[in-house]
Amino acid sequence: MKSILDYETVDYDRDLNIVKIIDQTKLPSDIQIEELTTSQQVWDAIYLLKVRGAPAIGVAAAFGLAMLACQIETTDLDEFERELISKKDFINSSRPTAVNLSWALGRIMDRYREVKNRLIKEENIDISIIKNTLLDEAYKIKEEDILVCRSIGEYGLSLLKPGDGILTHCNAGQLATCKYGTATAPIYLGHEKGYGFHVFADETRPLLQGARLTAFELSSAGVDVTLICDNMAASVMAKGKVNAVLVGCDRVAANGDTANKIGTLMTAVLAKHYNIPFYVCAPTSTIDMTAETGADIVIEQRDVKEVSHMWYKEPMTAENVKIYNPAFDVTDGSLITGFITEKGIFKSPKEM
């Protein structure tokens, strides 16, 4: 039987010119593939977390922009460029924290400028060549994501030993990338080698990425995974059940401060207290050297109903209760044992 890991998190149908994603808001009960054909659909899919996780957001945005470029009907290069920039800006406004969004859109735009300059030089302004080049670049971003995650998995596995207990927060799994995940990559590679890891997945309030996605994908792969509520992490650590914490990231500042799903900071503080290594699995595309420290990272604030209403038959707070719902927090670089990247393991981005 097909498992969730046999589906493509993000894909493109080149014959029909459509972006295809797993609608992650429906998981784990329903595996539905959603087709995106308009800029509003791409924006909504990212904002509503149908496609989520920093690397997957980047790939979806790259395919989205390349698809929208293919829909532009003009032979005038200036007009094409104006439309392309306005679509890029629109998609870029869907979520602020994960740098992979602007990074992937930037790669498509860099490719655009490169091919435009070449065609101008050759006096051959053929917009269909530009469109195909942008699509090829989006495919390249996806293929690279798979290689990057595999490499993070290999480096990460070198830090672990058979039988280890591993705690992870949110979903930095295959569903957040195109294969392997980042924080889950060492787990999947170790599982293939019979390492027998015991994984604790924080449920990750309020949107339950840990419960709905991480526990689902790891258990589908046959990994020994135990779901815990976020407030149980201290208890499993205190009992000596956790040898390492592996998490993903949405933006890493130059000094190592790291934005990731809300609750990551709490997990890092606990890991420090219990002397457990705390690793951030970080594709280098998630490192933003223009942000000097975590204070330069914009933290997305989301609808408070995600806390009070979502998942409940009746609202679970009294009316007028004030609610705070930041989607991410920033873990101080000093709490991070190391960054596991596709290029190796580093203490800080400045060493990479």
Has 126 been annotated as catalytic? no
In the shown chain, the binding pattern of residues 312 to 341 toward ligand MRU, with x for contact by CB under 6 A and - for none, equals ---------------x--------------
Contacting residue, 34, 39, 50, 55, with ligand MRU by CB under 6 A: 55
Question: Is 212 a binder of ligand MRU (CB under 6 A)?
Answer: no
Q: Which is nearer to ligand MRU, 237 or 281 (CB)?
A: 281
Beta carbon of residue 65, minimum distance to ligand MRU (angstroms, whole number)? 19
Among residues 170 and 199, whose Cβ is nearest to ligand MRU? Answer: 170
User: Which one, 174 or 219, has the nearer CB to ligand MRU?
Assistant: 174
DSSP state of 177: S
- For 224, phi then psi, to 5°, come to -75, 100
Rounded Cα gap, residues 274 and 256, in angstroms:
21
Nearer to ligand MRU, 165 or 283 (CB): 283
Binding residue for ligand MRU (CB under 6 A) from 4, 19, 27, 49? 49
Please state, in angstroms and rounded to a whole number, the distance separating the CA atoms of residues 118 and 133: 12
Alpha-carbon distance of 57 to 190, in angstroms, equals 26
Shortest gap between Cβ of 204 and ligand MRU (angstroms)? 8
Binding to ligand MRU, residues 254-273 (CB under 6 A): 260-261
Least Cα distance to 185 among 209, 215, 155, 141 occurs for: 155
Please name the amino acid found at residue 122. Answer: E
Dihedral, 138, 143, 144, 149 alpha carbons, nearest 10: 130
By C-alpha distance, which of 96, 173, 103, 172 is closest to 327? 96
> Under the criterion CB under 6 A, does residue 53 sit at the interface with ligand MRU?
yes
Among residues 60, 84, 249, 340, the one that binds ligand MRU under rule CB under 6 A: 249
**Within 10 Å of residue 292's Cβ, how many Cβ atoms?**
12
Pick from 54, 99, 227, 244 the residue near ligand MRU by CB under 6 A.
54
Residues numbered 136 to 165 that lie near ligand MRU (CB under 6 A) are: none
Tell whether residue 116 is a contact of ligand MRU (CB under 6 A): no
Least CB distance from residue 55 to ligand MRU, whole Å?
5
Member of 156, 248, 294, 338 binding ligand MRU (CB under 6 A): 248
- Minimal distance, residue 207 CB to ligand MRU, in Å: 6
Closest alpha carbon to 76 in 122, 133, 127? 127
Q: How far apart are alpha carbons 25 and 2 in whole angstroms?
A: 19
Task: Encode 204-216: b = buried (16+ Cβ within 10 Å), e = exposed.
Answer: bbbbbbbbbbbbb
CA distance 41 to 48: 10
Helices of type H across the chain: 39-47, 54-71, 77-92, 99-121, 127-157, 185-192, 209, 215-220, 233-238, 264-273, 305-308
Residues in the chain: 352
Annotated active-site residue in 145, 164, 202, 250: 250
**92, 160 Cβ separation under 8 angstroms:** no
Q: Of 59 and 130, which has the nearer Cβ to ligand MRU?
A: 59
Between the two ends of the chain, the Cα-to-Cα distance in Å is: 42
- Contacting range for ligand MRU; rule: CB under 6 A; set: 194-202, 220-228, 243-251, 306-314: 243-251
Tell me the backbone φ, ψ of residue 279, rounded to 5 degrees. -110, 140
Count of residues binding ligand MRU (CB under 6 A)? 19
Task: Out of 177, 219, 255, 258, name the contact with ligand MRU by CB under 6 A.
Answer: 177
Axis-axis angle for helices 77-92, 54-71 (nearest 10): 150
CB of 170 to ligand MRU, least distance (A): 4
- Whose Cβ is closer to ligand MRU: residue 92's or residue 177's? 177
Binding site for ligand MRU (CB under 6 A): 49, 52-55, 98, 170, 172, 176-177, 181-182, 209, 248-250, 260-261, 327
Question: Which residues are annotated as catalytic?
Answer: 250
